[in-house]
């Protein structure tokens, strides 16, 4: 009976034994039992912990290399896109300034110019003045197109009608 009580006390002391925050072992008060047979001094754990920590450091270093790339890559892409947007903005500002200057120039008299495809490039974003007659037989209908006026949608077409200039017109 005494051996059963002693065995139960041993099991109970093993279950209640805990590590304090300082690392010291403690158990129930008023008990002085020898340490269990499977107890190993903490010095042997330090070498095993060092081996395990060096392996985990290697794994962490390997994982951190990928995580560095995953953190660096979006930043690099964002920086590249931001730089591209700045250059694009500058090009757009220059293009709009060019168009605005061309629209503010004096209108050209188109009746005085000979019809040529070379002149068309110089007329881009320029105002022109021309007297002539509409040539309705050569009208082009582009559509169907819809437009909304006061919430009502109407279907229709764009009509492009060429203007035949009157050659030698003084006005």
Residue 118 inside a domain? The answer is yes
Q: How far apart are CA 111 and CA 128, in angstroms?
A: 9
| Residue 99 sits in the same domain as residue 121 | no
What stretch of H or E contains 95?
helix 42-104
| Residue 71 sits in the same domain as residue 113 | no
Q: Which residues contact 99 (CB under 8 A, 6 or more apart)?
A: 125
Residue 170 inside a domain? The answer is no
Instruction: With beta carbons less than 8 A apart as the criterion, state whether 25 and 17 touch.
Output: yes
Q: Which of 80, 104, 128 is the last residue of a domain?
A: 104
Residues in the chain: 171
Q: Which of 104, 123, 138 is the last residue of a domain?
A: 104
Residue 24 inside a domain? The answer is yes
Residue 15 inside a domain? The answer is yes
| Residue 91 sits in the same domain as residue 115 | no
Q: What is the pLDDT of residue 83?
A: 98
Domain count, the chain: 3
| Residue 53 sits in the same domain as residue 95 | yes
Domain that holds residue 147: 105-165
Regions of the chain where pLDDT drops below 50: 18-23, 27
Percent helix, percent strand, percent coil in the chain, to nearest 5: 55, 20, 30
Q: How far apart are CA 14 and CA 11, in angstroms?
A: 5
| Residue 54 sits in the same domain as residue 22 | no
Q: What is the pLDDT of residue 65?
A: 78
């Amino acid at each position: 009976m005494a051996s059963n009580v002693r065995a139960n006390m041993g099991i109970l002391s093993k279950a209640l034994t805990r590590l304090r925050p300082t690392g010291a072992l403690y158990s129930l008060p008023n008990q002085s039992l020898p340490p269990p047979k499977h107890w190993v001094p903490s010095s042997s754990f330090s070498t095993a912990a060092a081996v395990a920590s060096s392996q985990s450091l290697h794994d962490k270093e390997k994982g951190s290399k990928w995580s560095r790339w995953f953190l660096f890559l979006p930043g690099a892409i964002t920086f590249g896109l931001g730089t591209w947007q700045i250059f694009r903005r500058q090009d757009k500002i220059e293009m709009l300034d060019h168009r605005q200057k061309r629209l503010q120039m004096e209108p050209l008299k188109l009746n005085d110019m000979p019809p040529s495809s070379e002149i068309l490039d110089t007329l881009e974003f320029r105002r022109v003045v021309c007297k002539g007659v509409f040539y309705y037989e050569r009208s082009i209908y582009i559509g169907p197109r819809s437009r909304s006026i006061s919430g009502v949608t109407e279907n229709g077409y764009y009509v492009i009608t060429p203007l035949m200039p009157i050659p030698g017109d003084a006005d």
